[in-house]
Amino acid sequence: MTKSRNEIPRATVTRLAFYLRELQQMHRAELANVRSQSIAEKLGLKDSQVRKDLSCLGTVGQRGVGYRVDELIQNIQHVLGTDRAWNVILVGVGNLGRALTGYKGFGEQGFRLVGAFDSDPKKIGHKVGGLVIQDLGSLASFASVQAIDLAILAVPATAAQSVLSVIEEANISGVLNFAPVAVRPSQAGRTIVQEVDLAIELQRLAFSVVR
Amino acid sequence: MTKSRNEIPRATVTRLAFYLRELQQMHRAELANVRSQSIAEKLGLKDSQVRKDLSCLGTVGQRGVGYRVDELIQNIQHVLGTDRAWNVILVGVGNLGRALTGYKGFGEQGFRLVGAFDSDPKKIGHKVGGLVIQDLGSLASFASVQAIDLAILAVPATAAQSVLSVIEEANISGVLNFAPVAVRPSQAGRTIVQEVDLAIELQRLAFSVVR
C-alpha cells in the first residue's frame, strides 16, 4: 500500500535514494525490468527489505518479471520530491565547496547549482564551476529574483551559525550543512537543516570495523 | 546499563558521534559538566533521546550536575573505537579527494591521513595535503610496511569496483566510498564498505523539505 510521506521512516528514504541510483544505472543500461533480489544483491541488503521498502511506494512487482525500472524510478523520485528540478546555491567556496561545484551527482539527480557565495573579497568575482562567486551580502537580493530551494553550507565552523541566519532571511527551505558544527535555525520549521559531517562518516565506519 | 557494541543501533552510533562533536567543543571551552538537556537543545533532539543514548555507554548523569564532559568524551570514543589513532589512505586524488585531504575534522577525530594514491601518471609524484601522490600499483607494498586501517575511495564510478579489489588485497579493514556507485567486497566480512553519496544527502534533504 502506498504510504504518505509522513509515514516513511528516514532509513527507508535513504535506502530508496540508493535504489534510485541503482535503477538509474540499469535504465542507462537499457534494462526494462528488475527483480528486488538483484537490487538487494547490489546493495548488500536482504530481498525482503527491498520488497518492504518498495511497497511503501505502492509499487508491486510482477511474479517472474519483477518491477518496471522506469516506473520505479518515477515513483521513487516522486516520493523523494526530485521529480522536479531544485535550485541550489553554494555558500562558502573553500576547498570542499569548490569540489562540490564539480560533483556530477547533484546535476544527475535534478539539483541545479545556480549561485556561489563567499565573504572573502579575494574570491568574489572569480569563477567556480562556471559560476561567478558573489558576495554573501548579495544573497538576499539574488534570492528575491531567483527561486532558490536549497543551500549547501560549506563555511568554517565559526561562521556557520551567522551565515545560516543570512540563508534563513533569504527564505531558503533547506540547508545541507557541511560545517563541522551543529547549527540551529532561529525559527523552528522555517528552514530545515541536515548535517553532513565527513569525520562522523569515518567514525561510523570505524565503529563497524571494531565491532 | 552498558551495552555491547553489537547491541547499539546504527542510528544511536551516528547520534553518539554528533554528541562527541558537541562535547569536544565544550571541552575546548573548558566546561566540566553538561546536562543532557543542553546537548539535546544544541542538536534539536529530545532530552529523553539523549539520555537513552548515553545510557548505552553505562554513563549516568548526576542529579543537578549532569555528566562529566571528559568522561563522556572518553566513553563515546571507546564505543566508536576512536580512542586510538587510525591510519587512513586516500585513493583517488580528484577534486573531492583533494578537498578531503584538507578536511581538518579527520585529524581532530584521530584519523591520520598517511598516504594518497592515484592511477594518473600526471598526478603521481606531486604533493597533496603534504603527501606525495603514489601510484595505485604500489598500494599493496605500502600497506605491507605501514599499518593502514581505512581507505577513503574517491575515484570515478567506473573505476570504483576494481580499485576496491586492490584495497581488499592490501588487507584494509574499512572503506568509505565516495564514488557514486555501490561497490561490493569480493569476500563478505573481510573489508567493510560504507557508502557516502553527497547527492543522496541532498535527496534526503529534499524529502524533508517537501514533507
B86-200 CATH fold = Rossmann fold (3.40.50)
Residue A147 zone, left/alpha/beta (φ > 0; ψ -120 to 50; rest): beta
**pTM score:** 0.91
A92-to-A60, A112, B13, B202, B205 alpha-carbon distances in Å: 44, 17, 29, 17, 19
Cα–Cα distance between B71 and B77 in angstroms, integer?
A: 10
Angle at the Cα of B198 (from A163 to B165), degrees rounded to 5? 145
Interstrand relation of B111-118 and B86-91 (parallel, antiparallel or unpaired): parallel
Specify the pLDDT at position B97.
Answer: 95
- A75 contacts on B by Cβ (under 8 Å): none
Cα–Cα distance between A197 and A180 in angstroms, integer?
A: 6
Q: Residues B35, B61: contact at Cβ < 8 Å? A: yes
Q: Residues B146, B161: contact at Cβ < 8 Å? A: no
Closest chain A residue to the Cα of B96, Cα to Cα: A99
Burial state string for A30-68 with b = 16 or more CB within 10 A and e = fewer than 16: eeebbbbebbbebbebeeeebbebbebbeeebeeeebbb
Helices (H), B31-177: 36-43, 47-55, 69-80, 95-101, 104-108, 139-145, 157-169
For residue A146, what are the contacts with CB-CB under 8 A and spacing of at least 6? A87, A114, A115
* Confidence category of residue B7, pLDDT binned at 50, 70, 90: confident
Higher per-residue pLDDT: B190 or A18: A18
Q: How far is A211 from chain B (nearest CA, A)?
A: 6
Q: Which three cell numbers stand for residue B163?
A: 580499485
Model confidence at B189: pLDDT above 70: no
- A148 contacts on B by Cβ (under 8 Å): none
For residue A11, what are the contacts with CB-CB under 8 A and spacing of at least 6? B11
Beta strand spans in A15-167 (E) = 33-34, 67-68, 86-91, 111-118, 127-128, 131-135, 150-153
Q: Does A196 touch chain B (CB under 8 A)?
A: yes
- B86 contacts on A by Cβ (under 8 Å): 202, 206
For residue A90, what are the contacts with CB-CB under 8 A and spacing of at least 6? A97, A100, A101, A113, A115, A116, A117, A128, A131, A151, A152, A154
Task: Encode pLDDT of B77-94 as tens digits.
Answer: 999 999 999 999 999 999
Task: Encode pLDDT of A80-119 as tens digits.
Answer: 999 999 999 999 999 999 999 988 889 989 999 999 999 9
Q: What is the dihedral of CA B114, B115, B116, B122, to 10 degrees?
A: 130
Model confidence at B106: pLDDT above 80: yes
Task: Encode pLDDT of A42-80 as tens digits.
Answer: 998 999 999 999 998 887 778 888 999 999 999 999 999
Contact B13 A204 (CB under 8 A): yes
> Which residue among B181, B192, B208 sits closest to A174, beta carbon to beta carbon?
B208
Model confidence at A188: pLDDT above 70: no
Interstrand relation of A33-34 and A86-91 (parallel, antiparallel or unpaired): unpaired
Contact A21 B111 (CB under 8 A): no
Share of chain B residues as helix, strand and coil, in percent rounded to the nearest 5: 45, 20, 35
Specify the pLDDT at position A169.
Answer: 93
Q: Does A156 touch chain B (CB under 8 A)?
A: no
Amino acid making up residue B66: G
Model confidence at B24: pLDDT above 60: yes
Nearest of A178, A26, A36, A167 to residue A99 by alpha carbon: A178
A5-80 CATH fold = Arc Repressor Mutant, subunit A (1.10.10)
Cα–Cα distance between A16 and B31 in angstroms, integer?
A: 41
Which residues of chain B form CATH 3.40.50.720?
Answer: 86-200
Contact B199 A86 (CB under 8 A): no
Considering only residues 56 to 75 of chain A, which have any Cβ-Cβ distance to chain B shorter than 8 Å? Answer: none
Q: How far is A120 from chain B (nearest CA, A)?
A: 18
Average pLDDT over residues A186-211: 90
- Give me the DSSP letters along A125-188: T-EETTEEEEEGGGHHHHHHHS---EEEE-S-HHHHHHHHHHHHHTT--EEEE-SSS----SST
Considering only residues 80 to 99 of chain B, which have any Cβ-Cβ distance to chain A shorter than 8 Å? Answer: 80-82, 86, 88, 95-96, 98-99
Q: Does A20 touch chain B (CB under 8 A)?
A: yes
Contact B201 A198 (CB under 8 A): no
Q: Output Rg (C-alpha) for chain B, integer angstroms.
A: 19
Q: Residues B175, B199: contact at Cβ < 8 Å? A: no
> Which residue among B13, B18, B150 sits closest to A202, beta carbon to beta carbon?
B150
* Confidence category of residue B64, pLDDT binned at 50, 70, 90: confident
Which residues of chain A form CATH 1.10.10.10?
Answer: 5-80
- B87 contacts on A by Cβ (under 8 Å): none
**Least confident range of A18-32, B28-42, B58-72:** B58-72
Cβ contacts from A onto B, under 8 A: 198
- Which value does ipTM take for this structure? 0.93
